[in-house]
Amino acid sequence: MFGLNSKDTKLLLVVIALTMLAPFILNPFPEGSAMAQFNGGYPDLMQRLVIFGIFAIGFNILFGLTGYLSFGHAAFLGVGSYAAIWMMKLLTMNVIPAIMISVLVAGLFSLLVGWISLRRSGIYFSILTLAFAQMSYSLAYSVLTPITGGETGLQPKINDPRILDGALAAGETPRANLFGLEMGSSYEMTFGNWVFTFNAGYYIAAVVMILAFYLSIRIFRSPFGMMLRAVKSNQQRLNYTGLNAKPYTLAAFVISGMYAGLAGGLLVAMDTQVGAERMFWTASGEVVLMTILGGAGTLIGPVLGAGFIKYMENIVSKINKTVLEQWFAFMPDGIEDFIITIVYPFVGKGWHLTLGLLFMLVVIFLPGGLVQGGQKVFGLFRRKKASDEKTDGKTTPAE
């Protein structure tokens, strides 16, 4: 289907099912229950799951296929965001032109950065990309304040030109939309004590992520993807064959940067406030964690890694001491205080500590990331099923 083999088609269908059914999957607990704290089916989180999934998919095309580790991909995310917000301020609040220009501008900027950075490899390449990202952040934060808004950032204003949009009514604020459908519009469905939210902005971003995932599959399975794997395997040996690897690595870098720009444009479509913090080095480090945690070089791994980290950032970080006291209120006072003292450093503001420990465990015991963990679990079930069938089957004595 769509030029994919059966295995890739099944994987694509799994991703489609997960994204389309996310409001149900992320809201497993009824409202008002003690476990409702872990529900993540609200629009802001769901949007971030798919948008950062796109960011990680693009980064995986560079890092997972070529082995080039970039610490500067946040620059393309930020450049794409700034391009999108200026399109909304000057042309229209329709998200289509904003997303298109964000991909284009990020692609051009990544072409420049990649052309310079790919003159080196290994740690030197990583440091060069980090330097570009930090220079971009500094420029956006201070020097280019008239263009970027500096510390306060940019957002659409009533007096912006928006030459393709009509005049706003009195008291109306400009809102991102898709041919009139506002990104923030939602429909809530109540089923017993469960509340499921269906947000227009989320489903638009989800469709874009599915298309981006499909494109990544085609890249992985193409001759171009095979060449990128050869670069990762042994670039020196590839050069000895007479093939020049630089055009391929530069193309992978630009494609990866365009994915980051796409994610930046979608972030603006969902939240029309843009700041320089999107270009800070921690955002680049975050996408590296997402890819490695999910499984670098795998197709679905970066999506899983992005979802895992964003879920922890938005859910585990909200668990404070009051919530813990409610959870352990049934225990005797001394034991309750002891348990809370042990657990509290790992939740709330300390959620990074939990993430760091999990990342260490994954790197040590599951070098292939969450995908490898899933494969091991399925392997255990298959072996168990095979042994059960062997036990139940009839054996014939040897003649």
Q: Confirm or reject CATH 2.40.50 for domain 6-280, answering yes or no.
A: no
Q: Is the full-model pTM beyond 0.85?
A: yes
398 — pLDDT class (breaks 50, 70, 90): very low
399 — pLDDT class (breaks 50, 70, 90): very low
259 — pLDDT class (breaks 50, 70, 90): very high
What is the predicted pLDDT for the residue at 392? 66
What is the predicted pLDDT for the residue at 395? 52
**Minimal CA–CA distance to 340: which of 327, 350, 354, 358?**
327
Average pLDDT score over residue span 84-88: 95
Residue 36's contacts (CB-CB under 8 Å, 6 or more residues apart) are 29, 30
118 burial via Cβ count (<10 Å: 0-12, 13-18, 19+): buried
257 burial via Cβ count (<10 Å: 0-12, 13-18, 19+): buried
394 — pLDDT class (breaks 50, 70, 90): low
Average pLDDT score over residue span 17-34: 90
What is the 3 state secondary structure string of the chain? CCCCCHHHHHHHHHHHHHHHCHHHHCCCCCCCCHHHHHCCCCHHHHHHHHHHHHHHHHHHHHHHHHCCCCCCCHHHHHHHHHHHHHHHHHCCCEHHHHHHHHHHHHHHHHHHHHHHHCCCCHHHHHHHHHHHHHHHHHHHHHHCHHHHCCCCCECCCCCCCCCCCCCCCCCCCCCCEECCEECCCEEEEEECCEEEEEEHHHHHHHHHHHHHHHHHHHHHHCHHHHHHHHHHHHHHHHHHCCCCCHHHHHHHHHHHHHHHHHHHHHHHHHCCCECHHHHCHHHHHHHHHHHHHHCCCCCCHHHHHHHHHHHHHHCHHHCCHHHHHHHCCCCCHHHHHHHHHHHHHHCHHHHHHHHHHHHHHHHHHCCCHHHHHHHHHHHHHHHHHHHHHHHHCCCCCCC
16 — pLDDT class (breaks 50, 70, 90): very high
What are the pLDDT digits (tens) for 321-347?
Answer: 888 888 888 888 889 889 999 999 998
What is the predicted pLDDT for the residue at 235? 82
**Minimal CA–CA distance to 12: which of 232, 220, 183, 199?**
220
Domain residue limits, the chain: 6-280
What are the pLDDT digits (tens) for 36-59?
Answer: 888 998 999 999 999 999 999 999
Of 78-92, 253-267, 298-312, 351-365, the one with minimum mean pLDDT is 351-365
Of 56-65, 154-163, 213-222, the one with minimum mean pLDDT is 154-163
Query: Is residue 397 pLDDT above 60, yes or no?
Result: no
134-143 in b/e burial notation, b at 16+ Cβ within 10 A? bebbebbbee
Average pLDDT score over residue span 375-398: 71
- Cα torsion 208, 214, 217, 219 to 10°: value is -70
The mean of the pLDDT values for the chain is 90
What are the pLDDT digits (tens) for 159-213?
Answer: 888 898 877 777 778 889 998 899 989 999 988 889 899 999 999 999 999 999 9
